Structure 1
């Protein structure tokens, strides 16, 4: 195998690994598909939950992850499985 062929082989393997890492996010030992994540603002709107409450759930209930150190992303499947939506009652 030539040096160029070896280099191409390594680059293809690295690209494949990068794509796999992009499609799943490992949070707490469980891989979650990237399409399962929405911003906390989107989740608040979609599930009719106060923005501050959604941020607290991300932080305290483990349904979210921080991106770039400041922005919370919410896992739709984790939110639904958490039971938080079942017990949430907005303030009147």
Structure 2
């Protein structure tokens, strides 16, 4: 079921954030690992989702982006995936 999947993913994301915070406490010792996490863009998809939802749900100057993705535009397709069906 979708809700169980999302609940399990939330637990994983929170644990991932805890691990990242823990490694930041000793950046000199964790330098290689932290650099690898940055180079691999760890959490990049979550970062995009947060930004897209904030843009979609927040007050905007002018009009919101269109609901449907523009063909061939990866950013537009990502935005649509991240906001389609989102309820404010």
Same fold per TM (> 0.5)? no
More helix by share: 2
When the two structures are superposed, what TM-score results if normalisation uses the length of structure 2? 0.29
Q: Identify, as 1 or 2, the structure richer in strand.
A: 1
